[in-house]
Amino acid sequence: MTSPIELTCHPAKPCESVRRVEVQARRTRPDTLELQYVVKGDIARLLIPAESAPRRADKLWQHTCFEAFVAAMATTGYHEFNFSPSTEWAIYRFSAYREGMTALAPTRPPRVSMRRRRDQLTLAASIDLDSLPELRGGGALRLGLSAVIEDTQNSPTYWALAHPPGKPDFHHADGFVLKLPADPE
């Protein structure tokens, strides 16, 4: 795994309930991407979806959700992965910035697990990239890692490795700042 990388809260909407959000990313095989998100803070003040059976679901980003935007190097197309603490997930393919969105249901869905403690929430996701033609083959990847965290006031906050100017926009290419090399660790 990479060393923990801190996500920053979008400055337009600060969050008093969360002290820190970190993420780690690694490739365990050329076609496997593993992510681990850790939220530290007053977890009781956050709205965390109840755990359910792992399954595909839409609109996960409307509530507490962890996201990964993944693109092969030098391409305009990308994939959006959404992971809910409920263990529900979604995958979308975009041909370019917010264009050509297609919902995907891969033959091997992501594996999502969640652990909750009083002061920490950890979500782990393992993604098989081999069923996604643009991402398979072990080439280098660009990642934009982010989270939507909703508190008990039903107020979402937006966390990312990098925020482009203006309103929160996880799809913007300026957020794809983490580079994963072609070879797994």
Average pLDDT taken over every residue of the chain: 93
Is it the case that residue 139 has pLDDT exceeding 70?
yes
**Which H/E stretch holds residue 130?**
none
Percent residues over pLDDT 70 in the chain: 97
Q: What pLDDT is recorded for position 185?
A: 47
Environment class of residue 112 by beta-carbon count within 10 Å: exposed (0-12), middle (13-18) or buried (19+)?
buried
Structural domains in the chain plus CATH codes: 5-180 (2.60.40.1190)
pTM over the 0.85 mark: yes
Q: pLDDT of 12-45, one tens digit each?
A: 888 889 999 999 999 988 889 999 999 999 999 9
Question: Are 156 and 83 contacting, i.e. CB atoms less than 8 angstroms apart?
Answer: no
Q: Which residue has the higher pLDDT, 182 or 125?
A: 125
Question: Are 80 and 116 contacting, i.e. CB atoms less than 8 angstroms apart?
Answer: no
For 48-54, what is the mean pLDDT? 93
> pLDDT class for 141, splitting at 50, 70, 90?
very high
Q: What pLDDT is recorded for position 13?
A: 86
Q: pLDDT of 59-88, one tens digit each?
A: 999 999 999 999 999 899 999 999 999 999
Question: Are 47 and 154 contacting, i.e. CB atoms less than 8 angstroms apart?
Answer: yes
Q: How far apart are CA 130 and CA 4, in angstroms?
A: 26
Is it the case that residue 103 has pLDDT exceeding 60?
yes
Is it the case that residue 104 has pLDDT exceeding 70?
yes
Is it the case that residue 154 has pLDDT exceeding 60?
yes
Token code pair at residue 42: 């007053």
> pLDDT class for 127, splitting at 50, 70, 90?
very high
Q: In 3D, which of 91, 89, 94 has the Cα closest to residue 114?
A: 89
How, if at all, do strands 141-150 and 156-160 pair?
antiparallel
Q: Which residue has the higher pLDDT, 18 or 1?
A: 18
Q: What pLDDT is recorded for position 183?
A: 63
